[in-house]
Structure 1
């Protein structure tokens, strides 16, 4: 009997040693998104290994991974700019989607942010209903849509402290 409970998932920073595995994970995870938008040239599918490696060491960028044993099963990119953190490239291995791994990664972000970060932004395709629902369940609120070529992205924001403050007030 195999157990895929939360206890097996370890979330930690992805290092250069896992860059190839990260690139493979993202490509596998974003194929369905590319199919949904009929665009095989979305950035997660066209990024090269060299570009990924450069991004992983860029100032203000943190790449988190979710591991099940030795296997990388999820990842998220966090870019910190002043008081704002932006999440992107949230990816979960296709055979592990629907197990809560994406939610676990989202929950792991806030405690890792440096002091002074007041809000977290995330974006996804405006027609990505499942992604939008997951973000909204985590307290993110839709702010605006923005076109980028043929795609339109929905941008959502969560102010840090709002959820915790509301819980403390009760």
Structure 2
């Protein structure tokens, strides 16, 4: 049962959730693989053991969005000095278009160390919906980089201390409360 009044809960993804996370990512990235005619993109080829290793890394934070007991979205954040890099932003295909991805974008802020001043994201250069979502939320295209036959667009959002802390202090990750 999934009614509109059910709140989305956002929290860290634990090792116990690894199987569900792997399933979510594979379902969410199939359309990306089809768009680029490449079934070998990393979210589709990562093994459960590799995912568990990634979840255990100290420089990686993975958060998920749950509706009831179902994991409906997730994002992986790799931390390096003053930079956080978002990756594998995934929303279950039947839940897309409901603001879950946007909620996850803002929900990462409380998990970032204070020294982080910029957040990076990347997506395929032809993924217009993804590029539009990032641009709508303050990310600016920075550069493109080819990885085999796929070209990624890298986007950056500079965090202003007041903005980052006020969004973090809000603590509410519901889509309706975010810009």
Considering the TM-score relative to the shorter chain, is it more than 0.5?
Answer: yes
How far apart in 2 are the matches of 1:2 and 1:14? 21
How far apart in 2 are the matches of 1:162 and 1:132? 25
Runs of at least 4 residues off by over 6 Å: none
- In structure 2, relative to structure 1, the CA distance for the partners of 1:137 and 1:163 (3 Å cut) is farther
Displacement, 1:92? Answer: 0.2
Aligned residues: 164
In structure 2, the partner of 1:3 is 3
Alignment partner of 1:23 is 2:25: no
How far apart in 2 are the matches of 1:89 and 1:125? 12
Does the Cα contact within 8 Å between 1:139 and 1:163 map onto a contact in 2? no
In structure 1, the partner of 2:132 is 133
Please give the per-residue CA displacement for 1:127-163, whole angstroms capped at 9, x wherever unaligned: 0000000001110000000000110000000000188
Q: Which moved more, 1:155-164 or 1:97-106?
A: 155-164
Q: Provide the TM-score with structure 2 as the length reference.
A: 0.88
How far apart in 2 are the matches of 1:115 and 1:44? 29
Q: Provide the TM-score with structure 1 as the length reference.
A: 0.92
Does the Cα contact within 8 Å between 2:119 and 2:158 map onto a contact in 1? yes
Structure 1 portions without partners, runs of 5+: 166-170
- In structure 2, relative to structure 1, the CA distance for the partners of 1:162 and 1:126 (3 Å cut) is farther
Displacement, 1:2? Answer: 5.5
Structure 2 portions without partners, runs of 5+: 165-179
In structure 2, the partner of 1:168 is none
Structure 2 counterparts to residues 17-96 of structure 1, below 5 A: 17-96=16-95
Structure 2 counterparts to residues 100-115 of structure 1, below 5 A: 100-115=99-114
Please give the per-residue CA displacement for 1:109-134, whole angstroms capped at 9, x wherever unaligned: 12221110110000000000000000
Does the Cα contact within 8 Å between 2:61 and 2:111 map onto a contact in 1? no
Displacement, 1:58? Answer: 1.2
The 3-state SS of whatever aligns with 2:108 is: helix
Does the Cα contact within 8 Å between 1:75 and 1:90 map onto a contact in 2? yes
- The alignment yields a C-alpha RMSD, in angstroms, of 1.6
Displacement, 1:3? Answer: 3.0
